[in-house]
Amino acid sequence: MNAQPDAPRTPRDPEKTRDRILDAAQALILEAGFSATTVDAVVGRAGITKGAFFHHFASKAALAHAVIERFAEWDRKMLEQMVVRAERIASDPLQQLLTLLALYEEVFETQGDPSSGCLFASYIYEKKLFGPETIDVLRGSVREWRRVMRHRLELVLVKYKARREVDLDTLADLFYSLTEGAYVMTKTLDDRRLLARQTRELRNYFELLFEPR
**103-122 mask for a copy of itself (x: CB under 8 A)?**
--------------x--xxx
Q: Does 95 bind a copy of itself (CB under 8 A)?
A: no
Q: Does 200 bind a copy of itself (CB under 8 A)?
A: yes
Residues touching a copy of itself, count (CB under 8 A): 51
- Which of 40, 80, 109, 207 contacts a copy of itself by CB under 8 A? 207
Q: Does 180 bind a copy of itself (CB under 8 A)?
A: yes
Q: Does 129 bind a copy of itself (CB under 8 A)?
A: yes
- Which of 13, 32, 109, 154 contacts a copy of itself by CB under 8 A? 32
Distance CA 156, CA 31 (A): 39
Shortest distance (Å) from residue 38 CB to a copy of itself: 10
- Which of 158, 164, 212, 213 contacts a copy of itself by CB under 8 A? 164
Q: Does 187 bind a copy of itself (CB under 8 A)?
A: yes
- Which of 13, 31, 40, 106 contacts a copy of itself by CB under 8 A? 31
Q: With contact defined as beta carbons under 8 Å apart, do 210 and 152 qualify?
A: no
Closest CA to 118 of 201, 45, 181: 181
Kindly tell me the burial class for residue 42, based on how many C-beta atoms sit within 10 Å of its own C-beta (0-12, 13-18, 19 or more).
buried
Kindly tell me the burial class for residue 150, based on how many C-beta atoms sit within 10 Å of its own C-beta (0-12, 13-18, 19 or more).
middle
CB burial readout 9-20, b (16+ within 10 A) else e? eeeeeeeebbbb
- Which of 11, 13, 35, 44 contacts a copy of itself by CB under 8 A? 35
Q: Does 72 bind a copy of itself (CB under 8 A)?
A: no
Distance CA 62, CA 5 (A): 20
- Which of 106, 125, 133, 151 contacts a copy of itself by CB under 8 A? 125
Residues that bind a copy of itself (CB under 8 A): 30-36, 117, 120-122, 124-129, 135, 138-139, 142, 163-164, 166-167, 170-171, 173-174, 176-182, 184-185, 187-189, 194, 197-198, 200-201, 204-205, 207-209
